[in-house]
Structures are given as C-alpha cells and as structure tokens.
C-alpha cells in the first residue's frame, strides 16, 4: 500500500493497457518508486491529479473490455479508490449514445475546485461540478450540427484534448479525432470548427471546414491566443486561438505524430515525438528522438542523449508525454513498448525510469503541494 507523498514529491501517473502506475521521486528526480498496477487488467487512458479545494485527489478512468468505463477517485494517493458504483459518465437516453471510453480528464480553474472536465468517446465533453463524482454532458457540443458527419479515427471517435483560456473563461477548445478542432466563446453553448489551414490528407478536399484528424493541441497560459497542433500529418501553430493555422514542420524527420507537450514555463518551447508514418507507427529510423523547438516552431532540434538510437521501434501515443512544473522542467515520455523515459533538464538528457510496463496510453505529472 503506498504511503502519502510528502510535499515536493514529483509524481508521474502512467496509464497503460493493463492498469495504472504511480511513479514518485523527490524533487531531484533521481530515484523513482513504482507503485501499481492500479486496476490490473483494465486500460487507463485518462488520469489527473487535483489539489484544489483542500483535497488531494487522483482521478483515473479505468476501462474494462467487458464491463465498461468508470472514473475512479482516490483521496489518499491511490491507497484506496472510490467512485460512484453507478457509471457516472452517462449519455442521456435521448442521445442514443453510450460511453465507450474516457480519453481525457482536466481539472478546471483553481478557484472553482469542483469543476472537472472529461473528454470521451463517442466524442463528447462532460462536466463535473463535484470533483468528479457526477457528470453531465455539455449539450452544445452533444447537439452539434456537424456530429452526424464526424468519422471515427483508428482509436474511435474520441474527444481527447481540452484547451482552456486562463483569462477568457467563456473560451475553450477541444479536439476530436476525426472531426478537428472546435472552439466555444460562450461557455460551451455553441462551438465553431477552427481548422483553417489544417490538412486532411485522407479526404478528397484537403482543407475542409472540419473532418481533420487532430491528434493533440497545446497552449501556454502566458500566451493563451497561441496554440500548437500535432495533426495526422502536419504540425501547426495558430496565433489567434485557432482562427487559422500555419505549417511549422521545420526540420522534423516526419510531421506525423501524436504527442505534443508545452514547456511549463516557456511559451516558445514545445516538445513532439515524430512518428515515421501513419502506416508504420514507430519513431523514424528506429531512433527514439524527442524534438524541441525553443522558437515557437521556427526550428526543431532532436534530443537524443540517453534515448535509444538504434532498433527502437517505439511509438508514443497522443497523451503519453508530460512535463512537470519543477523549476527546471522535467519531461516524461511513455511508449507502447512499455518504457518511460525521463529528463530532469528540459529534455537535454534522458534516462529510463520504467522499462517493462504494459503499453503506455497516457502520462501526467504533479508536484505534490505545488498548487
């Protein structure tokens, strides 16, 4: 049974196809303890750590191939898990939809500690106002006129990304595979497709209003109007909250990929893991390389120190890269080969902190007591 983590502990929450693991270390991030699996045998595609409102809550979405998906809660660092026995994320009967998977859990603003968002499959956004215990679908997106024409990607029709604006609270972005990027400016009542300039290589019309297979979108609180987007072929930046997008695939071996991570302190620094192609989903040349831009996409440079540079047939999924909030930011990358690579120096050098986990679906971090 895990012990409660002291303040300053760095946590790396890893969801895999066979359960979740909580890796913990001191702020130096030298030695790591692996706790798990939680929910053995079940897939965990979404995790979050929430210290708002005086509690310390870990949220994980566990999915059983047989019995469905449930968001589980722990207020004691994973020692015990609670959560409603009923399936709390439920589509209204009138929708005709049934929950397949929870893909994203995102706590709300600091001063609204009850609010948590969830992105799910089939594509929909749910909101909780009680810390994740009960949920309701955001009707404006559920009823969207484009919905009948959204098509599932390889992972299903999933809403996997939630982007919030730290200033304008009525504004939020979401990404759906395969529908593209959508934005609301009225608190979720209405949503507009914001995909101008983003390619859809798999459609006859390469630049449709919607239908793109957006894999991940990130932004930095210091520059909320600027978004970075990893597409199913394509790497983009928007300087106007998605109104239009520019190609920034400058010097990468492939602009196909899934994962994308913002530097926690520098709005010009972003990390990606290029993938060979949609037909061969491994890192190019079997060399594990994280790419970093420090100039908002004008140039990208490979980070390789400590990462395997031959026979590395690895793939990194869309939510399997994360950064911690330490003063010198740490980076964490989980692979489908069950490895977790970590850097304590913003990506300059790496080491393997977990070597043989089940295939990694998602990685999130927290620094205990940082909030």
Partner 1 sequence: MTVSLRLPHALVPYARGSSTLAVEAPCATVGEALATVAARWPAVTDRILTEQGVVRRHVNVFVGNESIRFLDGLATPLSHGDTITIVAAVSGG
Residue closer to partner 1 by CB (options 85, 327) is: 85
Are the CB atoms for 251 and 266 separated by under 8 Å? no
Task: Please report whether residue 349 would count as binding partner 1 according to CB under 8 A.
Answer: no
**Cα dihedral sign, 305-10-312-347:** negative
Q: Which segment (64-72, 140-148, 258-266, 362-370) binds partner 1 by CB under 8 A?
A: 64-72
Task: Please report whether residue 205 would count as binding partner 1 according to CB under 8 A.
Answer: no
Task: Please report whether residue 67 would count as binding partner 1 according to CB under 8 A.
Answer: yes
# residues contacting partner 1 (CB under 8 A): 16
Applying CB under 8 A, among 3, 26, 33, 64 the residue interacting with partner 1 is: 64
Residue closer to partner 1 by CB (options 67, 207) is: 67
Cα 145 vs. chain centroid, distance in angstroms? 26
Measured between alpha carbons, how far is 201 from 233 in angstroms, rounded to an integer? 7
Task: Please report whether residue 156 would count as binding partner 1 according to CB under 8 A.
Answer: no
Q: Which segment (61-69, 117-125, 216-224, 226-234) binds partner 1 by CB under 8 A?
A: 61-69
Query: Smallest Cα–Cα separation from 152: which of 57, 232, 63?
Result: 232
Are the CB atoms for 71 and 60 separated by under 8 Å? yes
Q: Which segment (87-95, 128-136, 187-195, 236-244) binds partner 1 by CB under 8 A?
A: 87-95
Residue closer to partner 1 by CB (options 92, 221) is: 92
Applying CB under 8 A, among 1, 31, 86, 167 the residue interacting with partner 1 is: 86
Burial class (CB in 10 A: 0-12, 13-18, 19+), 84: middle
The three-point CA angle 73-119-238 to 5° equals: 130
Applying CB under 8 A, among 13, 20, 23, 99 the residue interacting with partner 1 is: 99
Question: Least Å distance between CB 73 and partner 1?
Answer: 15
Residue closer to partner 1 by CB (options 91, 202) is: 91
Question: Least Å distance between CB 50 and partner 1?
Answer: 24
Applying CB under 8 A, among 11, 60, 73, 97 the residue interacting with partner 1 is: 97
Task: Please report whether residue 134 would count as binding partner 1 according to CB under 8 A.
Answer: no
Residue closer to partner 1 by CB (options 135, 256) is: 135
Backbone φ and ψ for 340, nearest 5 degrees, come out as -125, 115
Task: Please report whether residue 40 would count as binding partner 1 according to CB under 8 A.
Answer: no
What lies within 8 Å, CB to CB, of 85 at 6+ separation is none
Question: Least Å distance between CB 16 and partner 1?
Answer: 12
Q: Where are the alpha helices (DSSP H) in the chain?
A: 139-142
Beta pairing partners, 181:
175
What lies within 8 Å, CB to CB, of 101 at 6+ separation is 43, 45, 61, 63, 69, 120, 121, 156, 158
Residue 147's SS3 state is helix
Question: Least Å distance between CB 95 and partner 1?
Answer: 9
Three-state secondary structure of 311-369: CCCCCCCCECEEECCCCCCCEEEECCCCCEEEECCCCCCCEEEECCCCCEEEEEEEECC
Task: Please report whether residue 81 would count as binding partner 1 according to CB under 8 A.
Answer: no
Residue closer to partner 1 by CB (options 120, 217) is: 120
- Window 257 to 286, contacts with partner 1 (CB under 8 A): none
Question: Least Å distance between CB 60 and partner 1?
Answer: 18
1-13: b (≥16 Cβ within 10 Å) or e: eeeebeeebbbbb
Q: Which segment (94-102, 110-118, 164-172, 179-187) binds partner 1 by CB under 8 A?
A: 94-102
Question: Least Å distance between CB 14 and partner 1?
Answer: 19
Residues in the chain: 371
Task: Please report whether residue 71 would count as binding partner 1 according to CB under 8 A.
Answer: no
Binding site for partner 1 (CB under 8 A): 17, 64-68, 85-87, 90-91, 93, 96-99
């Amino acid at each position: 049974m895990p012990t409660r983590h002291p303040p300053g502990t760095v946590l790396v929450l890893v969801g895999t196809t066979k359960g979740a693991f909580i890796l913990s270390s001191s702020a130096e991030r030298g030695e790591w303890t692996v706790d798990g699996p939680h929910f053995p045998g079940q897939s965990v595609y979404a995790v979050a750590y929430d210290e708002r409102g005086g509690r310390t809550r870990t949220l994980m979405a566990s999915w059983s191939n047989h019995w469905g998906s449930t968001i589980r809660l722990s207020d004691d660092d994973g020692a015990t898990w609670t959560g409603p026995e009923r399936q709390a994320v439920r589509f209204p009967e009138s929708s005709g939809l049934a929950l397949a998977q929870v893909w994203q859990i995102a706590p709300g603003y600091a001063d609204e500690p009850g609010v948590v968002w969830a992105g799910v499959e089939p594509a929909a956004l749910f909101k909780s106002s009680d810390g994740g215990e009960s949920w309701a679908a955001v009707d404006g997106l559920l009823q969207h006129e484009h919905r009948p024409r959204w098509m599932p990607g390889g992972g299903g029709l999933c809403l996997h990304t939630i982007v919030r604006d730290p200033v304008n609270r009525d504004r939020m972005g979401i990404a759906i595979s395969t529908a593209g990027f959508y934005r609301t400016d009225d608190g979720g009542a209405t949503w507009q497709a914001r995909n101008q300039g983003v390619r859809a290589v798999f459609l006859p019309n390469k630049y449709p209003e919607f239908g793109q297979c957006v894999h991940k979108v990130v932004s930095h609180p210091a520059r909320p109007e600027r978004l970075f987007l990893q597409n199913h072929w394509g790497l983009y930046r928007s300087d106007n909250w998605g109104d239009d997008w520019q190609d920034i695939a400058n010097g990468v071996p492939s602009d196909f990929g899934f994962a994308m991570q913002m530097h926690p302190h520098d709005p010009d620094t972003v990390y990606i893991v290029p993938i060979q192609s949609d037909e061969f989903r491994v890192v190019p040349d079997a060399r594990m390389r994280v790419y970093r831009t420090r100039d908002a996409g004008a140039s990208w440079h490979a980070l390789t120190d400590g990462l395997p540079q031959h026979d590395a047939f690895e793939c990194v999924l869309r939510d399997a890269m994360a950064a911690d909030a330490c003063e010198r930011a740490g980076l964490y990358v989980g692979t489908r080969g069950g490895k977790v690579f970590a850097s304590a120096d913003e990506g300059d050098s790496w080491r393997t902190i977990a070597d043989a986990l089940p295939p990694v679906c998602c990685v999130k971090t927290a620094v205990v007591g940082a909030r």
